[in-house]
Amino acid sequence: MNQPREIPYDFILDYLLRIETTVKPFFGMFSIYNGQTLLLMLRDRKDQPELNGIWVPTNRDSLESLKAELPSLRQIYGLGNTRKSGSLWLMVPPEAPDFERTAITLCDLIVRRDPRIGRLSKPRSPQTPKPRSPRSKTRAQPRGDRPQR
């Protein structure tokens, strides 16, 4: 039986208590939302440990100012179509010397509604059944019923 996974770096939830948040599992990670806005993702997995840490969704315009304010943040490359969406991901790795301080500062920025952090998620549309392919107007005939030539 699968054990429920623990949320990594859950201390940050204490610093987000001033706003309403929802934590959702997401492909072996945990997403933290405020309404439809994705605020952070928490990752602590055995595969690709270099990607473990606190992920921060941002945009191209905010990238440099966040990195200047929080030097432990580093960019994650190769996720999604950043040209189309304009969204980027930063992360603070757990081995950063100021990991907890950076995490707390991120939470403070989120609580103050800093526009550089977060990404509005598209609402999911209700699942509609796929239309069936049209049937052929000529029906196959059983072998014995075929006209003889």
Domains identified in the chain, total number: 1
Question: Does 136 fall in a domain?
Answer: no
Reading the block at residue 100, the tokens are 């907890």
Question: Does 5 fall in a domain?
Answer: no
Domain of residue 26: give its range: 11-117
At residue 1, the pLDDT reads: 46
Question: Does 20 fall in a domain?
Answer: yes
Question: Does 134 fall in a domain?
Answer: no
Q: What is the mean pLDDT of residues 20-29?
A: 93
Other CB atoms within a 10 A radius of the CB of residue 45 amount to: 13
Q: For residue range 25-78, list pLDDT tens digits in order.
A: 988 899 999 999 999 999 999 999 999 999 999 999 999 999 999 999 999 987
pLDDT above 80: residue 79: no
Choice between 115 and 147, residue whose per-residue pLDDT is larger: 115
